[in-house]
Amino acid sequence: MLIEIGPVSRESAVAWLDYATVAVGELRASETPRVPDRAIDKFEQLVAEWRIAAATGDGPFHWANDEPPEKVEFLMNALYSAGLEIERGAAEGRMTLRPTAADEFHIVMVQQVLDTLARQGGSNAEFVESLRNEWLIARKR
């Protein structure tokens, strides 16, 4: 399935990528990891790909790639879990919260990816509905 992110402001994308680089390091260093290593590895790979997309061209950030629905589902669930872990870690003073400058990219990315996954129907749509019931940022605006 084709996953697209954007168009979204390049500045917000860069702010999110800078933040994500820090977050990946903090998640790897967590003494009680709640995010699978293979998800963190994939996050790191995506950040590298998205940095290239953010560094090329003018105008808004845009990225597209084909990914199997089950992989997208796994990564979106891991992203949700990572957010919960980071919120806990930030409350304990050991992790960093996402800066406001990165919010636009984060919201667009989550919404667009979940919308694409929901259009697959069946269990993918059920997964998206369940996640949207739990994750405030994933809810339709």
Between CA 42 and CA 97 the distance in angstroms is 20
Structural domain including 55 reads 2-138
DSSP states of 108-120 as a string?
A: HHHHHHHHHHHTT
Number of domains in the chain: 1
Q: What is the pLDDT of residue 140?
A: 72
What the block records as the tokens of 60 is 């808004």
Q: What angle do CA 62, 37, 64 make, to 5 degrees?
A: 15
Which residues sit opposite 3 in a β-bridge? 65
- The tens place of each residue's pLDDT in the chain, 141 residues long, gives 999 999 999 999 999 999 999 999 999 998 877 899 999 999 999 999 999 999 997 899 999 999 999 999 999 999 999 999 999 999 999 999 999 999 999 999 999 999 999 999 999 999 999 999 999 888 876
